[in-house]
Structure 1
């Protein structure tokens, strides 16, 4: 992951957008992790355990209430699964707390007793899931702000160490499943869909602010993600300021270097019309009009023939998996949905950590409430949440300057016309 020279930043005030009942419900949900994973605690921790049991009882009442807010339903379900270990596939892989514990345990020092490792993990989950500030969050957990900052750093590192292969390019059976799924959509040997999402931040302090000012007139950092039709994240590259074009982000990513080196698209060759042969590619939007032969974007424009219109419709349906992945990821881990102050040095690692959780929970069969994709604005109007998909594509018909890429798209178009 490339370093971009990010500078430290502080955090501020109160969470943005969560009502008090939502904040409390999320807090209760996350502390369920602690209740169900604390075993054999010393007598000095009995008071803490008793308090957490009270919170668990409150969690149960909230979960059974018919008017439980959608935000909390998803997080309650998530944390209940994390705490109990009762997943559709009940194996040690899903014991997230246990898997991370060894990496975050602190030795007893001469002047203090360490916080229980489960409490540290619970706080990091709470921070990511609620989007609450460190000030409010640490107060709810009875810890100092500095302790909260360190907890998030520790859990981030623990997740990345405990699950080093949670985000990886597909191989073997998984690759075959992905290729078959895209083939059934009309795109043989397609490996996935690519797009960028913006993570909105407060105006950077001590950094060139103009670099982070994006097309929506917000300050942001970009994350490039590749997903399959099951919304599984296969590659993530984060760190470039919001003003940077998607193509530049791609050119500076490991994905680009590996693809150019021939390390990614190695499926058995498939023959298409006009003698075109492909071993793999990705679907993209019009933010990638001239970049390379292995990203297939729509034709665009309004003056289209029937075959091109059919191609664009099918391409968009398949490519939309990446936007659905952003919806699930950001609405479940709402810190990355909201504008917030952050340490730009640690933001990339935290985002990769929640992408890791995203894949683990998908594999575990944890459902996502689609209601989380909607919000009510200050005027009482229900609207889709802003997922930070800014877009860089120009209007009108797009032609690739790379001849191979142009031929591949035309061959796929003509293949679809024959189906």
Structure 2
């Protein structure tokens, strides 16, 4: 019993017990040491931990410094480079923010604010880095690149959705975020070009929403129906309805031309699946879990899409360290009933099969 009393006595004692006994006392500020992780790790170790190179991280911090710089450097303020490092660590693993704070030497609430601030700043670059072809010359160039994959003509993008796990948002609408695999997620719609750049992204829909519903509610559908990309089309899987501007595979191909159409369609549309794999390898948090609230998760997803495009454009090295148990496609690939497909919707696909693929076999 004496041992128990000694333990209880020691646990109730502290170095600052006299300070805490003072009336209306405030907790003393503690400044934790901050390690310069640009110097701590070599280039490869830095790349594997933060998913981008040191040079790109420094350039990003310099470019975003006006948005990230604090008003004063008093109270051991966090520099733009340190803020970028914390956000990159979150994108690398979606880790608990307390763990990131312990490594960075700041409180978890500071980490939360910093990650959101950096994500907003990077997502603000989306108009420069995520864009569909803007004119006929760009559309023709993109169609030529797609044609070189498997001879499918007039394609300017491939479309699909992927589920990005998030923590339960709570509240009355929480169950709308539970997908068919019983995981809380955001169903994110992405369009990619022939070089696997992300050219359009929609990251605001709950995991229970079907791919076709997301597309029908998106701005890009309105642009397609307004004729902005007239004469060209997207390729989608069977989760979408066939449209004059969005071609899907045939469910039961019979003729040689139909089989050739399906084969060319599938091999060309595979670009978007490969893009998901590269995106998730670059930033594993996209395939694991984003441990932040839903609004901030949406912002982080767009930021990671922007960074993915930047890394591809600048040919930033791909990290070698990546572990994932789920690299398969997780999009909704359920057939839509043909009862709602009009002859007008089928016209482009039938004409393409009869006048183009029929001559190729």
What TM bracket, shorter-length normalisation? Answer: 0.7 to 0.9
- CA distance in 2 between counterparts of 1:139 and 1:99 reads 27
1:21-36 alignment, distance < 5 Å = none
Contact persistence 1:286–1:392 (CA under 8 A) = yes
- CA distance in 1 between counterparts of 2:129 and 2:357 reads 34
- CA distance in 1 between counterparts of 2:38 and 2:174 reads 46
Once the two structures are TM-superposed, the CA of residue 249 in structure 1 deviates from its matched residue by: 0.6
Contact persistence 2:97–2:108 (CA under 8 A) = yes
Question: Can you list the C-alpha shifts for 1:246-274, whole angstroms capped at 9, x where unaligned?
Answer: 111111111112222223x14xxxxxxxx
Q: Does 1:171 align with 2:134?
A: yes
- CA distance in 2 between counterparts of 1:54 and 1:103 reads 24
Distance verdict in 2 for CA 1:346–1:76, change over 3 Å: closer
- CA distance in 1 between counterparts of 2:78 and 2:47 reads 28
The match for 2:189 is: 224
Distance verdict in 2 for CA 1:112–1:164, change over 3 Å: farther
Contact persistence 1:197–1:387 (CA under 8 A) = no
- CA distance in 2 between counterparts of 1:388 and 1:208 reads 26
1:258-337 alignment, distance < 5 Å = 258-263=223-228, 265-266=229-230, 279-290=231-242, 292-301=243-252, 304-337=254-287
- CA RMSD of superposed structures (Å): 2.8
Once the two structures are TM-superposed, the CA of residue 280 in structure 1 deviates from its matched residue by: 1.1
Question: Can you list the C-alpha shifts for 1:94-142, whole angstroms capped at 9, x where unaligned?
Answer: x322111111111117x72321110001110111012222121111111
Q: Does 1:150 align with 2:127?
A: no
Q: Does 1:417 align with 2:355?
A: no
Q: Does 1:408 align with 2:358?
A: no
Distance verdict in 2 for CA 1:256–1:304, change over 3 Å: same
The match for 1:42 is: none
State the SS of the aligned residue for 1:240: strand
Q: Which runs of 5 or more structure 1 residues have no equivalent in the other structure?
A: 1-46, 64-71, 85-94, 267-278, 378-384
Once the two structures are TM-superposed, the CA of residue 388 in structure 1 deviates from its matched residue by: 5.7
The match for 1:19 is: none
Once the two structures are TM-superposed, the CA of residue 399 in structure 1 deviates from its matched residue by: 8.2
Point out the structure with max Rg over C-alpha. Answer: 2
Once the two structures are TM-superposed, the CA of residue 305 in structure 1 deviates from its matched residue by: 2.6
- CA distance in 2 between counterparts of 1:122 and 1:108 reads 20
- CA distance in 2 between counterparts of 1:324 and 1:359 reads 14
- CA distance in 1 between counterparts of 2:197 and 2:339 reads 30
Contact persistence 2:53–2:316 (CA under 8 A) = no
- CA distance in 1 between counterparts of 2:51 and 2:120 reads 24
Once the two structures are TM-superposed, the CA of residue 174 in structure 1 deviates from its matched residue by: 4.1
- CA distance in 2 between counterparts of 1:106 and 1:134 reads 21
State the SS of the aligned residue for 1:320: helix
State the SS of the aligned residue for 1:78: coil
- CA distance in 1 between counterparts of 2:39 and 2:296 reads 34
Q: Does 1:205 align with 2:170?
A: yes
Once the two structures are TM-superposed, the CA of residue 169 in structure 1 deviates from its matched residue by: 1.4
> Of 274, 283, 296, which aligns to 1:346?
296
Once the two structures are TM-superposed, the CA of residue 204 in structure 1 deviates from its matched residue by: 2.7
TM-score by length of 2: 0.81
Contact persistence 1:289–1:393 (CA under 8 A) = no
Q: Does 1:366 align with 2:351?
A: no
> Of 55, 64, 68, which aligns to 1:104?
68
